[in-house]
């Protein structure tokens, strides 16, 4: 019970911290002071108080994006285990629900972007749809490989780290994680797929889709993005985490790993530049190949 409460609190409160960490890391790497780690909390608080402005072309669909994004993200968060603390809800086949909840979030975000009738946002939406179509197979191949590894269809048991590093699963596991990191970067639209804080709309993917959002809707968008960082992060961290004796150790390990992930993303972002749009698909296909190869290793 306590576990679930903690799970819920983590989901609700922790996410905005991650972008802060990433930003801080980048700033440090660039030798800057950078914004405070809690910056996103301040922003959310401010946005929650601000008035929203709506374009005259928009309909209720415009709001379905942020709402659906956050709702789906929260629902999905209940399915994913945090490290070795099991997920509140777990059943056979929850992986599929997990994946499709993010699909739902994406669908609604794209629609709300198209609702503005702005060509820029349409462009962003098109890119989102295209790239995610490539990310999906990587995700599912990873699931398939893991499911084959420990004969289970539920995230909880599926993601559990298969014991010592010396098993024959280690190789595949590394490949899967590699592929999933690519998916992670793409889904969260980080460098090298997308540059969250570029100022040229033509090069954006996710940012350009939410250009027209403001006030509370925008707050939801930002929160939803950070939530995605957390939930997908949990997805790729869990298999990598060793099992500890006590629950609190597991929690600590998880939080540490999460922070590490954020810093890692920050390092990646400050160490390399965005790919050309035409190269992004190849990057994603690399992810597909990695996970696919992992699955093949599982077969033999």
Partner 1 sequence: MSLYLLALLAAAVSGVPGLFLRRRGGEVATGLLGLAALLGLTASFRVLAGGSGGTLALRTAALGAPGLLVFDPLAAFFAIPVLVLAFCGSLYGLGYWESRRGNTPALRLVFGWLTASLVMLVAASHALTFLLAWEGMAIAAFLLVMAEDREAETRRAGWIYLVATHTGTLILIAAFALLARTTGQYGFTALPAGLAASRGGTILFVLFLLGFGFKAGILPLHFWLPPAHAAAPSHVSALMSGVLLKMGILGIARLLSWVPDPPLWWGGTLVALGVLSGLLGVAFALGQHDLKRLLAYHSIENIGIILLGLGLGTLGKSQGNPVLQTLGYAGALLHVVNHSLFKGLLFLSAGSVLHATGTRDLERLGGLGQRMPWTAAAFLAGSWAICGLPPLNGFVSEWLIYVGAFRGLGLGRQAWPVVILLSLALIGALALACFAKAFGAVFLGLPRTEAGARAQEAPRVMLLPMGLLALACLAIGVAPLFLMPALGRVVDTLGPAGGSGLPSLPGLGAISGMALALGLLALLLWRWLRPGSREDGLPTWDCGYATPDARMQYTASSFADGLVRGLRWALWPVVHRPKVSGWFPRPARYEGHVPDPVLDRAAAPGLRFGVRGAALLRVAQGGALPVYLLYVLLTLLVLLVWMVA
Does residue 92 interact with partner 1 by CB under 8 A?
yes
| Residue 4: CB minimum distance to partner 1, A | 13
Contact between 138 and 284 (Cβ < 8 Å): yes
Q: Is 215 in the site for partner 1 (CB under 8 A)?
A: yes
List 52, 256, 259, 286, residue binding partner 1 (CB under 8 A): 52
Binding status of residue 99 toward partner 1 by CB under 8 A: yes
| Alpha-carbon distance values, 165 to 170, 172, 242, 263 (Å) | 6, 11, 10, 24
Please, what is the minimum distance in Å from the beta carbon of residue 104 to partner 1? 4
Q: Which of 5, 12, 30, 96 binds partner 1 (CB under 8 A)?
A: 96
* Sole binder of partner 1 in the list 14, 111, 174, 244 (CB under 8 A): 111
Q: Which of residues 242-271 bind partner 1 (CB under 8 A)?
A: none
**Residue 14 sits in the site that holds partner 1 (CB under 8 A):** no
Q: Is the dihedral of CA 255, 109, 193, 41 positive or negative?
A: negative
- Is residue 31 exposed (0-12), middle (13-18) or buried (19+ Cβ within 10 Å)? exposed
- Say if CB 232 and CB 187 are below 8 A apart: yes
- Least Å distance, CB 292 to partner 1, is 9
* Distance, CA of 142 to CA of 150 (rounded, Å): 12
58 binds partner 1 (CB under 8 A): yes
Q: CB nearer to partner 1: give 114 or 191.
A: 114
State yes or no: residue 159 binds partner 1 (CB under 8 A): no
Q: What angle do CA 71, 102, 42 make, to 5 degrees?
A: 50
């Amino acid at each position: 019970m306590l576990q679930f409460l903690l799970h819920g609190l983590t989901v609700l409160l922790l996410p905005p911290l991650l972008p802060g960490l990433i930003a801080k890391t980048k700033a440090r790497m660039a030798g800057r002071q950078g914004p405070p780690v809690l910056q996103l909390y301040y922003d959310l608080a401010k946005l929650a108080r601000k008035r929203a402005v709506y374009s005259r072309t928009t309909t209720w669909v415009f709001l379905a994006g942020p709402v659906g994004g956050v709702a789906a993200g929260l629902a999905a968060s209940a399915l994913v285990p945090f490290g070795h603390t099991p997920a509140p809800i777990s059943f056979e086949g929850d992986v599929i629900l997990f994946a499709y909840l993010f699909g739902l979030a994406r669908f609604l975000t794209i629609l709300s972007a198209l609702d503005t009738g702005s060509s820029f946002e349409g462009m962003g939406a098109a890119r989102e749809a295209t790239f995610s179509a490539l990310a999906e197979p990587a995700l599912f191949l990873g699931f398939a490989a893991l499911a084959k590894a420990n004969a289970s269809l539920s995230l909880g048991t599926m993601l559990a780290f298969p014991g010592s590093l010396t098993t024959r699963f280690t190789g595949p596991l590394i490949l899967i994680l590699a592929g999933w990191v690519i998916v992670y970067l793409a889904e969260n639209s980080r460098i090298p797929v997308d540059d969250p804080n570029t100022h040229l709309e033509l090069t954006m993917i996710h940012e350009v889709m939410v250009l027209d959002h403001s006030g509370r809707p925008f707050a939801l968008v930002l929160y939803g993005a950070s939530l995605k960082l957390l939930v997908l992060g949990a997805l790729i961290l869990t298999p990598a985490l060793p099992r500890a004796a006590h629950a609190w150790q597991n929690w600590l390990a998880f939080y540490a790993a999460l922070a590490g992930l954020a810093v890692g993303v920050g390092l990646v972002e400050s160490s390399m530049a965005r790919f050309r749009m035409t190269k992004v698909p190849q990057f994603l296909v690399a992810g597909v190949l990695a996970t696919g190869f992992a699955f093949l290793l599982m077969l033999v």
